Amino acid sequence: MYIVHSTVAVPDDKAEEVIAIYQNRSKLVDTYKGFLSFQLLQNEQVPSELTVQICWETKEDYLNYITSDAYKKVHELEKNYPDQELASIKPKVQRYRRVAE
């Protein structure tokens, strides 16, 4: 399994807006080969810190997705957020491979 975290720190008053965006996400990634799951995580101690966690069968599946038209389409949608402050936030991306269960 290959797991990708994308963490953003949003302004405190924008956390609920970002959560709503992800609750209504396009779900294009869900149909992509090797996709296993999507979660949006909210830090309990810092509620304005949000992490998208996407799990893939393999690293290759993830790499195929991030070079796909579906990936480009999803990220073009992000650039068009009505709130340009949110559109300009850059996530910290971390990648993990499962080494034990």
Per-domain boundaries in the chain: 2-97
Confidence of residue 70 (pLDDT cuts 50, 70, 90): confident
Model pLDDT, residue 86: 73
Q: Which two tokens stand for residue 62?
A: 């993830």
Report the distance separating Cα 67 and Cα 63, nearest Å: 6
Mean of the pLDDT values across residues 69-79? 75
Confidence of residue 82 (pLDDT cuts 50, 70, 90): low
Strand partners, 51: 7, 41
Tally Cβ neighbours within 10 Å of residue 59: 14
Model pLDDT, residue 72: 85
Residue 6 CB-half CA count within 13 A:
11
**What is the CATH number that goes with domain 2-97?**
3.30.70.100
pLDDT(100) > 90? yes
pLDDT(83) > 90? no
Non-local CB neighbours of 6 within 8 Å, separated by 6+ positions: 51, 52, 91, 92, 93
